[in-house]
């Protein structure tokens, strides 16, 4: 038996009470703070949550045997959950960044054979080991930033062989690394250059050749598609997502990232678990999401980095869409690994409150990857994943921006980051 006791946080931010359903509207502000709060876990599972005084009294015996982490003067939150990443890739695209600073657009670069195509070439050329090593380094940094679970998409392989390689790397990283990875198949991430004149044939390939194998090998939980003008149409997106459902893959969709294109509406139609990006989602799209319980995953790092308008997060929350926040970590449109910076942007650029951004990176993010029964809040019975931030209250997290406040990270009841170092 092994016990761990996180003791006396100035704020234990539990985000409790939203495990059944994602938090919407004013519920997103309800983050369940316990002052002078403590949490006790046994063998990786939370067994008690409350004030330090109460737990000291009721669990004296267990606490005596426990590894103690003193959180006095600091806050403790659920381990952060990043529900939209493209973390498994090879290479970097700083050259395209420089081109964009000179005035070229993201889509112009992609249409000229760069963008996602450039990373696809690098990822195809990389061996399993190279891909694993490059991605592992990023996972280390995310863990050091307080993230304990991520979603990881394929989509830089674009052939069966290389999509499988990407997904197998994610699977192995999930086994080897402290970070938990939940995989999404995204064969429909771009139309490969050789299919430019016959995109329907590529859609057929994704549906008939890739999906069945990915599903058979159980390499993904979700199925995603980049629904965007010049990439996949709403009709093609629907075909891919409906086909995935036949294999038990849950639909997600990259929607209305660059232009309003009916992506959010499509998410409602196929009853996707989430629609992601939404920078240019229409009012009808927002309504379709609210009506069909589609979670909005907004990625302000992408708007920041593409110098684009931000998603209308405030409007979405006020209209009943449950929101989650994510890094979109990828080499082209959001090369960050900091969910804390994304929280800053949520407040400063999208009108969210400091409480809402915490809900959006914990329990609602967990819902967006169908893991809310296990992670995303500090409640009895849940996995003991915690991040201790070196700040005295939760407002400080989105106040001091562009910094890493994560000091200690606990994953499945084990201290995995101590004093900002991975153990
Ligand atoms: O979420 N929009 C499509 N996919 C990624 C970008 C991928 C890339 O540029 O490499 C995104 O923004
Ligand atoms: Fe993305």
Task: Please give the full DSSP string across 287-305, using - where no structure is assigned.
Answer: HHHHHTTPEEEE-HHHHHH
Beta carbon of 333 within 6 Å of any ligand 1 atom = yes
Q: Give the pLDDT score at 243.
A: 98
Cα–Cα distance between 290 and 296 in angstroms, integer? 9
- Name the closest-CA residue to atom 12, ligand 1: 333
Write out the E strands in 14-110.
Answer: 33-42, 45-51, 67-70, 75-78, 80-82
In terms of DSSP bridges, do strands 222-227 and 414-418 run parallel, antiparallel, or are they unpaired? Answer: unpaired
Q: Regarding beta strands 406-411 and 386-389, do their DSSP bridges make them parallel or antiparallel, or are they unpaired?
A: antiparallel
Report DSSP state, residue 210.
I
CA of 329 to the centre of ligand 1 (A): 9
Token pair for 52: 């330090």
pLDDT confidence of residue 71 = 99
Q: Is the CB of 254 under 6 A from ligand 1?
A: yes
Q: What is the pLDDT of residue 180?
A: 99
Please indicate whether residue 114, judged by its CB atom, sits closer than 6 Å to ligand 1. no
Residue nearest atom 2 in ligand 1 by C-alpha distance: 226
Task: Judge whether 382 and 45 are in contact, CB under 8 Å.
Answer: yes
Distance CA 272, CA 268 (A): 6
Q: Where are the alpha helices (DSSP H) in 92-198?
A: 94-101, 106-111, 116-125, 128-144, 160-176
For each of the chain's 423 residues, which pLDDT tens digit applies? 899 999 999 999 999 999 999 999 999 999 999 999 999 999 999 999 999 999 999 999 999 999 999 999 999 999 999 999 999 999 999 999 999 999 999 999 999 999 999 999 999 999 999 999 999 999 999 999 999 999 999 999 999 999 999 999 999 999 999 999 999 999 999 999 999 999 999 999 999 999 999 999 999 999 999 999 999 999 999 999 999 999 999 999 999 999 999 999 999 999 999 999 999 999 999 999 999 999 999 999 999 999 999 999 999 999 999 999 999 999 999 999 999 999 999 999 999 999 999 999 999 999 999 999 999 999 999 999 999 999 999 999 989 999 999 999 999 999 999 999 999
pLDDT computed for residue 15 by the predictor: 99
85 ligand 1 Cβ < 6 A: no
**What stretch of H or E contains 8?**
strand 3-13
Dist. CA 60 → ligand 2 center (Å): 47
**Probe target for ligand 1 pocket from 153, 261, 302, 332, with the most ligand atoms within 8 Å of CB:** 332
Query: Which pLDDT score, from 0 to 100, does residue 152 have?
Result: 99
Comparing CA positions, the residue from 314, 310, 284, 283 lying closest to residue 299 is 310
Which residue has the CA at smallest separation from atom 3 of ligand 1?
226
* Residue of the CA atom closest to atom 8 of ligand 1: 332
226 CB under 6 A from ligand 1? yes
Q: Is the CB of 74 under 6 A from ligand 1?
A: no
What is the model's pLDDT at position 75? 99
Instruction: Answer whether 324's CB lies under 8 Å from 302's CB.
Output: no
pTM: 0.98
pLDDT of 7 reads 98
SS3 216: helix
The Cα–Cα gap between 324 and 160 comes to 31
Is 239 assigned a ligand-binding role in the annotation? no
> For the chain, how big is the Rg over CA atoms in Å?
21
User: Can you count the helices (H) and strands (E) in the chain?
Assistant: 18, 17
Atom 1 of ligand 1, residue of closest alpha carbon? 328
Does the CB atom of residue 123 touch ligand 1 within 6 A? no
**Cβ contacts of residue 196 below 8 Å, gap of 6+?**
none
Buried b (16+ CB within 10 A) or exposed e, 372-405: bebbbbbbeebbbbbbbbbbebbebbbeeeeebb
Give residues with Cβ within 8 angstroms of 218, minimum separation 6.
none
Under 8 Å between Cβ of 385 and 97: no
Run of H or E residues at 244: helix 234-246
* Residue 190 alpha carbon to ligand 1 centre in Å: 9
Tell me how many degrees the CA angle 280-281-283 measures, rounded to the nearest 5.
Answer: 125
Distance 87 CA to ligand 2 centre (A): 10
Nearby residues of 197 by Cβ (< 8 Å), 6 or more positions away:
none
Check if 119 has its Cβ closer than 6 Å to any atom of ligand 1.
yes
Question: Residue 26 has what pLDDT?
Answer: 98
Give nearest CA residue, ligand 1 atom 5. 333
Q: How many residues does the structure list for the chain?
A: 423
């Amino acid at each position: 038996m092994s016990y761990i006791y996180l003791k006396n946080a100035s704020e234990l931010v539990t985000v409790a009470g939203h495990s059944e359903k994602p938090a919407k509207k004013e519920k997103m502000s309800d983050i369940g703070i316990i002052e002078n709060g403590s949490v006790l876990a046994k063998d990786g599972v939370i067994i008690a949550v409350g004030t330090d005084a109460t737990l000291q009294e009721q669990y004296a015996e267990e606490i005596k045997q426990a590894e103690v982490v003193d959180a006095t003067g600091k806050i403790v939150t659920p381990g952060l959950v990043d529900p939209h990443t493209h973390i498994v890739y090879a290479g970097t695209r700083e050259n395209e960044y420089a081109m964009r600073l000179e005035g070229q657009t993201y889509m112009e670069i992609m249409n000229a054979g760069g963008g996602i195509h450039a990373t696809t070439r690098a990822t195809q050329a990389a061996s399993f080991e190279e891909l694993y090593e490059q991605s592992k380094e990023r996972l280390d940094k995310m863990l050091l930033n307080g993230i304990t679970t991520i979603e990881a998409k394929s989509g830089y392989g674009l052939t069966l062989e290389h999509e499988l390689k990407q997904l197998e790397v994610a699977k192995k990283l999930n086994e080897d690394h402290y970070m938990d990875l939940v995989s999404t198949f995204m064969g429909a991430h771009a139309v490969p250059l050789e299919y430019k004149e016959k995109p329907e044939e590529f859609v057929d390939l994704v549906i008939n050749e890739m999906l069945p194998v990915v599903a058979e090998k159980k390499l993904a939980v979700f199925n995603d598609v980049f629904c965007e003008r010049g990439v996949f149409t709403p009709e093609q997106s629907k075909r891919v997502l409906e086909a995935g459902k036949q294999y038990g893959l849950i639909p997600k969709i990259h929607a209305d990232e660059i232009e309003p294109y009916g992506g959010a509406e499509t998410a409602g139609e196929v009853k996707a678990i989430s629609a992601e990006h939404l920078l240019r989602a229409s009012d009808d799209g927002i309504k379709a999401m609210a009506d069909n319980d589609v979670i909005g995953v907004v990625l302000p790092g992408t708007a920041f980095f593409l110098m684009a308008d931000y998603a209308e997060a405030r409007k979405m929350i006020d209209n009943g869409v449950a929101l989650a926040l994510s890094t979109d970590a990828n080499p082209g449109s959001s090369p960050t690994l900091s969910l804390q910076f994304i929280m800053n942007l949520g407040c400063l650029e999208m009108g969210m409150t400091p409480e809402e951004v915490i809900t959006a990176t914990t329990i609602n993010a967990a819902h967006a990857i169908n893991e809310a029964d296990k992670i995303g809040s500090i409640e009895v019975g849940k996995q003991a994943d915690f991040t201790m931030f070196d700040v005295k209250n939760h407002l400080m997290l989105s106040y001091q921006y562009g910094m890493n406040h994560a000091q200690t990270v606990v994953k499945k009841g084990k201290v995995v980051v101590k004093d900002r170092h991975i153990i």
